[in-house]
Amino acid sequence: MAGNTAEATARATWAKSVAAWFSIAANVLLIIFKLIAGFLSGSIGIISEALHSSTDLIAAIIALVSVRRAARPADPSHQFGHEKVENISGVIEGLLIWMAAVVIVVEAVRHLVSGEHLDHIGVAIAVMLVSAAVNAGLSVYLYPVARRTESAALKADAAHHLTDVYTSLGVALGLALAQATHKTYFDPILAIGVALLIMWTAWQLVSESTRVLLDETLPESDLVIVRKTVAEHRGELIVGYHKLRSRRAGSRRHIDLHITVDGALTVGEAHAIAEHITADIGENLPNAEILVHIEPAAHERDDGS
C-alpha cells in the first residue's frame, strides 16, 4: 500500500518534470526563432517579442523548480511536506502574467498617443502565428498533465501559455486589420483587449492559489467522499465523528477529524478502528494525509460539525 503510493508519487513527479522540461524547451526554441526572424527582418517589434518569450522561459523554469521541490518528502523543517511550493509558484506565475498585461497596455496606449509606424507586417504576422501555434500546443499538452497530477504549478504554466496564445493572435489580427484598412490604431486597441482578457486569467490563477495558501477547506465533492467513508462505520465500529477539518497543499490533501468510540474499548482496539478508517479514506481519496483523534463516546456529537 505504502509502496504503491510512493511509486504513484514518483510517477506523477516524473510526468510533471517531463511536462515542465517540454515547456522550457519550447520557449527556448521560440526565443531563438524570434531572434533570428527579428534580426533578419530588422523589426524591433519581433525582437521585443523574443524578450516576451524570455519571461515565459522564466515562468517555465519556476514551474520546473517548484514541481521538483514539491516532490521532496517531509523533512524536519517542513513536517507537512513541500507541496505548497506549487501554490506559491501559481501566485508568482499569476503576477508575471499580470505584469505582462500591464506592459502590453502601457505600450499600446503609448502607440495610440504617439501614432505608430508599422514595419514588416507580413513577417510579424507569421512569427505571431507560429508562436500562437507552439503555445497552443503546449497548453493543450500541459492542461491534462496538470489535471491528472493535480499540479498547481503546471496548471499555472498552462494558463500562462494560453494567455500567450491570446496575445499572439490578438497582435496578428491587429496587424492584419491595420494592413487591410490602413488604420494603425487597430493594433493597439486589440492589444488592450487582449491585455484585459489576460488580466482576468491572471486574477483567477492568483485567487485559486491564494485560497490554497489560506488553508481553504477541500471542495464539497471531496468532503462528501470523506463523510460517506466515515459514516459507513457508524453504529458498527464508531459512535460518530466531528471536527472534520481539511486543507490542500499542492496535490496533497491534509485531513483531520475526531472519532467517538465506546469509552470501554482498549486503545489497541480503538487504534485498529482508526487505522481502518484512515486506510478507507486513503483508498477513496488519492494523496490524502489523515490524522484521527479518538474520543470516548461521552463526547459524542455525530453531526460531523
Q: Interface with other proteins by CB under 8 A: which residues? A: 74, 76-82, 84-85, 87-88, 91, 95, 210, 213-217, 244-247, 249, 256, 261-268, 270-271, 274, 291-296, 298-299
**Min. distance of Cβ 207 from other proteins in angstroms?**
11
Q: What are phi and psi of 240, to 5 degrees?
A: 180, -175
- Name the residue nearer to other proteins (CB basis): 142 or 152: 152
- Name the residue nearer to other proteins (CB basis): 193 or 296: 296
**Min. distance of Cβ 84 from other proteins in angstroms?**
5
In this structure, what C-alpha cell is assigned to residue 71? 516532490
Instruction: Starting at the earlier edge strand, list the strands of the sheet with 252-261.
Output: 240-249, 252-261, 288-296
Instruction: Kindly write down the DSSP assignment for every residue of 14-57, as one continuous string.
Output: HHHHHHHHHHHHHHHHHHHHHHHHHHHHT-HHHHHHHHHHHHHH
- Name the residue nearer to other proteins (CB basis): 202 or 274: 274
- Name the residue nearer to other proteins (CB basis): 181 or 204: 204
From 254, 152, 286, select the one nearest 208 (Cα to Cα): 152
**Min. distance of Cβ 71 from other proteins in angstroms?**
14
**Min. distance of Cβ 30 from other proteins in angstroms?**
26
- Whole-number CA gyration radius for the chain: 25
**Min. distance of Cβ 245 from other proteins in angstroms?**
4
Q: Measured between alpha carbons, how far is 246 from 234 in angstroms, rounded to an integer?
A: 20
- Name the residue nearer to other proteins (CB basis): 29 or 99: 99
